[in-house]
Amino acid sequence: MRDETIRKHHDYLFPSVANYYKEPLVIDHGKGSYLFDSDGKKYLDFFGGILTVSVGHCNPKVTEKINEQVNKLQHTSTLYPNENIVNLAEKMAQITPGKLQKSFFTNSGTEADETAVFLAQHFTGHQELIALRHGYSGRSMLAMTLTAHSAWRHGGTHIAGIKHAVSPYCYRCPFGLEYPACDLKCARDIEELILTTTSGKIAGFLAEPIQGVGGFITPPKEYFEVAVPIIKKYGGVFICDEVQTGFGRTGNRMFGIEHWEVEPDIMTCAKGMANGVPIGATIARTDIADSFTGLTISTFGGNPVTMAAALATIQTIEEDNLAQNAHELGGYLRAGLENLQEKYPAIGDVRGMGLMQALEFVGENKTPDAALVGRLFEETKKEGVLIGKGGLYGNVVRISPPLNITKSEVDEFLRVMDAALARC
Ligand SMILES: Cc1ncc(COP(=O)(O)O)c(C=O)c1O
């Protein structure tokens, strides 16, 4: 079955649907923190389907609600209201920070960001937008233009008016400065970017609280406090992309941005919101959402089965205190990773928050070492552990297990990483 699956993948899928590992891993089923391949081999999943499996694979609390709903009513479109869509929208208004109140549901993070950017432009009457270098927004033409990784930007610049500010990437500070003596130059430079590359009137600023695909680049804590007022000064709104950082991932808070003293005007969510059922959500301040009076529709957005999955996922995160678990076990994991850093000089940086932790691998003078990451992938796979990759140079290991991971699973992960690193 494995060979046949790999052959069909090669023959019938776009080659751009790239797989991890020299011998791609054909996954058959999952349970909790584990995945099982077609030969029955067990893997501890420390990437969680790219930060999407929030409450463990096939969590019965979620799958029961999906099954119940799929047997009752699977699809109507948004032309008729249903109980699940309004309950999820109400829940989103309750759990998101500040004045975020009204939601629009879609099927992916890409669509959530598209909706947010359109809304910002429509509300402000301005067109230009500030995004961040090392950011990732998805695969539509707008999202690829927002994205600031050449590897994910295909076909040139599709959409005009998007300007990229430097990333708050302290390990590789674009100004060669050090925090805190830098006085947050990366954030302050946004003003000059606006004054020199735009008309001086912007629609908004789209940023991730921690840059996910960028390799879990974690900004200094005052970054958004400095950046967001500059955006407001020039007429823009703040679009916070919580596609990776949302729903307890960063520990102790439901959303990543809540760690810092700013409130988004629009927020986008996807991935971990429904534990793997396709979803996108854009939530905005009432005045911003209400400014969009024209017709729009997403056939599958707000699907009752998807909404049931999201409601059950959020309920599980709340009832099982998983944001707290992410904080506690994230701290425990972080301490273990820092121990590994002391032992292996190739680990140049350990960063992240909660259960969103990364290791940046380097050679001399911080030269990115993507080859080592490639070897580490093969070694950890042999030992039955799955990790994620990221960073502009592909030299960052992303670690993001389900939020209900246990201490002994973290210990198992650290033991395998140590043994694998020793062999790399
Ligand atoms: C921060 C961020 N925004 C948007 C997206 C796009 O989401 P999707 O792949 O669901 O379209 C991603 C996907 O990785 C992401 O990490």
Note if the bond before 60 is cis, omega within 30 degrees.
Answer: no
- Give Cα separations from 13 to 9, 17, 19, 139 (angstroms): 5, 7, 11, 17
Question: What spacing in Å lies between the alpha carbon of 138 and ligand 1's midpoint?
Answer: 5
pLDDT digits (tens, 9 = 90+) for 103-133: 999 999 999 999 999 999 999 999 999 999 9
Assign 89 a pLDDT band (cuts: 50, 70, 90). Answer: very high
Q: What's the confidence (pLDDT) of residue 373?
A: 98
Q: For residue 21, which of 35, 414, 249, 403 has the smallest C-alpha distance?
A: 35
Q: What's the confidence (pLDDT) of residue 322?
A: 98
Assign 22 a pLDDT band (cuts: 50, 70, 90). Answer: very high
Contact 135, 166 (CB under 8 A): no
Integer Cα distance of 91 and 404 in angstroms: 21
Q: What's the confidence (pLDDT) of residue 264?
A: 98
Where helices occur in 27-108 by DSSP H, the ranges are: 48-51, 60-72, 83-95
Strands (E), 258-363: 266-269, 280-285, 347-353, 356-361
Q: What's the confidence (pLDDT) of residue 1?
A: 84
pTM of the full predicted structure?
A: 0.98
Q: Average model confidence (pLDDT) for the chain?
A: 97
Cα angle 155, 158, 162; round to 5: 130
Structure tokens at 254: 């439901």
- Give Cα separations from 25 to 13, 20, 84, 391, 398 (angstroms): 16, 8, 35, 22, 18
pLDDT digits (tens, 9 = 90+) for 216-252: 999 999 999 999 999 999 999 999 999 999 999 999 9
> Which of 149, 269, 271 to mutate for ligand 1's pocket (most ligand atoms within 8 Å of CB)?
271
Nearest CA to ligand 1 atom 4: 137
Task: Establish whether residue 110 lines the binding site of ligand 1, counting it when its CB lies within 6 angstroms of any ligand atom.
Answer: yes
- Which residues contact residue 204 at a Cβ distance below 8 angstroms, ignoring those fewer than 6 apart? 117, 120, 121, 124, 129, 130, 231, 236, 237, 238, 239, 265, 266
Q: What's the confidence (pLDDT) of residue 157?
A: 95
Which of helix, strand or coil describes residue 56?
Answer: coil
Task: Establish whether residue 114 lines the binding site of ligand 1, counting it when its CB lies within 6 angstroms of any ligand atom.
Answer: no
Q: For residue 140, which of 274, 268, 249, 328 has the smallest C-alpha distance?
A: 268
Neighbours of 226 (CB within 10 A): 20
Q: What's the confidence (pLDDT) of residue 394?
A: 98
